[in-house]
């Protein structure tokens, strides 16, 4: 049997901080190739990506796993009580950057896939799409893998992303969608002047304050059938002005919006522009906007795929998982354009933290869940 705990430890010892490959994908390619998977690299730019398939190309039925081996920076290494790339186990807990997010998830689904095809070769294909660029800009990661699959006429029928999804207890939550995410940067330009003569200047600060207040005070919605209410957070206001006797000529600000399926990036962009135009006119200043849409909201409606995963989770944990769309973004936002996708993985309490860690027993449990999902899917 393939040991997911040992494979997790081996991956943790690969210092794959985005965008460094760190040896993690090289290790997985070797392990999967030895098990009979056909592997190909789908690298793009400075990003390393691995595609692995067991089964005939173009088979009508294929189950896909998606995940990432890149990790966020360690931060202050002196604050760690265990080596961040040591994979040390103490009292049944493994420590290291990526233990939770998400090398243990990758190890669990790789181990489950390897053992499954060895023991009961399925009538179909199993596909593993693993990127080294989820924690970064994600421009050349899973999107590059999906582009490679399109060009190679490869396809997943359904996909499970192995991100940590459980808030506190193993098995309590499956993600069936994600909110959209976008950031807008505003530059308000007026006329610089002396603070003793404000009538001779056009102060951009009151305009920025009014705009931020209008945006933050606006109720975007009250939620939808499967999503909480959309949120807007003011994340920056800055002038760079340290002089109290000068009215600055320019001020910048930014907001981040997490939105549900009642909106699109385009509709919210139009609303932001309308609000900015109204404030610019009222204060006789110029307001420029730069917008980045990181991902649109999406939903995989409850049905066969979520039932498949939920039944396996309950069988292995005794817990009926909640179907949720909470949290930030993930690479599922790209996969959803390719095939139906859900997410299930470990408890994510320590992800991105100092002394990130995972209970060793949870890694074995996660492999068992993934194994049962494969068995039930191909039965």
Percentage, residues of the chain above pLDDT 70: 100
Q: What is the pLDDT of residues 325-347, one digit of tens each?
A: 998 889 999 999 999 999 999 99
The domain tally of the chain equals 2
Q: What is the pLDDT of residues 223-253, one digit of tens each?
A: 999 999 999 999 999 999 999 999 999 999 9
User: Are 108 and 1 a contacting pair, CB within 8 Å?
Assistant: no
Could you tell me the residue range of the domain that residue 365 belongs to?
4-178+298-378
Q: Does 118 share its domain with 160?
A: yes
Q: Does 174 share its domain with 308?
A: yes
- Which residues are part of the catalytic machinery? 70, 134
Query: What pLDDT score was predicted for residue 56?
Result: 85
User: Are 136 and 19 a contacting pair, CB within 8 Å?
Assistant: yes
Q: What is the pLDDT of residues 208-217, one digit of tens each?
A: 999 999 999 9
User: Are 4 and 363 a contacting pair, CB within 8 Å?
Assistant: yes
Q: At what angle do helices 4-12 and 104-119 cross, to 10 degrees?
A: 140
Q: What is the pLDDT of residues 23-81, one digit of tens each?
A: 999 999 999 999 999 999 999 999 999 999 999 887 789 999 999 999 999 999 999 99
- Of 295, 313, 344, the last residue of a domain is 295
Q: Rounded distance, CA 59 to CA 307, Å? A: 23
Give the β-pairing of 322-324 and 173-175: parallel
Q: Does 291 share its domain with 311?
A: no
Q: Does 233 share its domain with 360?
A: no
User: Are 54 and 33 a contacting pair, CB within 8 Å?
Assistant: no
Q: What is the pLDDT of residues 260-303, one digit of tens each?
A: 999 999 999 999 999 999 999 999 999 999 999 999 999 999 99
User: Are 265 and 179 a contacting pair, CB within 8 Å?
Assistant: no
DSSP state of 335: H
Closest to 349 in 3D by CA, of 115, 53, 153, 100: 100
Q: Per-residue pLDDT for 197 more than 90? A: yes
What number is the average pLDDT over the span 340-361?
Answer: 97
In the numeric block, which tokens belong to residue 84?
């961040």
- Provide the CATH number for the domain around residue 245: 3.30.70.360
Q: Report the DSSP beta bridge partners of residue 54.
A: 126
């Amino acid at each position: 049997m393939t040991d997911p705990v040992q494979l997790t430890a081996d991956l943790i010892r690969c210092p794959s901080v985005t965008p460094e490959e760190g040896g993690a994908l090289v290790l997985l390619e070797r392990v999967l190739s030895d098990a009979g998977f056909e592997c190909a690299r789908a690298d793009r730019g400075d990003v390393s990506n691995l595609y692995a398939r067991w089964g005939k190309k173009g088979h009508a039925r294929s189950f896909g796993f998606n995940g990432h081996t890149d990790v966020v920076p360690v931060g202050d290494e002196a604050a760690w009580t265990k080596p961040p790339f040591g994979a040390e186990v103490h009292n049944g807990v493994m420590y290291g950057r990526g233990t939770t997010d998400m090398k243990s998830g990758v190890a669990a689904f790789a181990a489950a896939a390897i053992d499954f095809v060895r023991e009961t070769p399925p009538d179909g294909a199993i596909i593993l799409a693993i990127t080294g660029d989820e924690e970064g800009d994600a421009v050349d990661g899973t999107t590059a893998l999906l582009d490679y699959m399109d060009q190679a006429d490869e396809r997943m029928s359904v996909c499970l992303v192995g991100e940590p999804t459980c808030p506190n207890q193993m098995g309590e939550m499956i993600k069936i969608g994600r909110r959209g995410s976008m950031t807008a940067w505003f530059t308000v330009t007026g006329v610089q002047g002396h603070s003793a003569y404000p009538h001779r200047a056009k102060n951009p600060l009151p305009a920025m304050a009014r705009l931020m207040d209008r945006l933050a005070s606006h109720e975007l919605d009250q939620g939808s059938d499967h999503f909480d209410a959309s949120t807007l957070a003011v994340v920056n206001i800055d002038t760079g002005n340290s002089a109290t006797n000068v009215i600055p000529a320019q001020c910048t600000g930014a907001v981040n919006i997490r939105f549900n399926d009642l909106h699109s990036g385009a509709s919210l962009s139009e609303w932001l522009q309308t609000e900015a135009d109204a404030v610019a006119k009222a204060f006789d200043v110029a307001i420029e906007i730069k917008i980045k849409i990181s991902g649109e909201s999406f939903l995989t409606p409850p049905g066969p795929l979520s039932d498949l995963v939920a039944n396996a989770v309950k069988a292995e944990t005794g817990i009926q998982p909640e179907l949720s769309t909470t949290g930030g973004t993930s690479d599922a936002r790209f996969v959803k354009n390719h095939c139906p996708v859900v997410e299930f993985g470990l408890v994510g309490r320590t992800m991105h933290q100092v002394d990130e860690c995972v209970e060793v027993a949870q890694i074995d449990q996660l492999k068992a869940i993934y194994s049962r999902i494969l068995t039930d899917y191909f039965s």
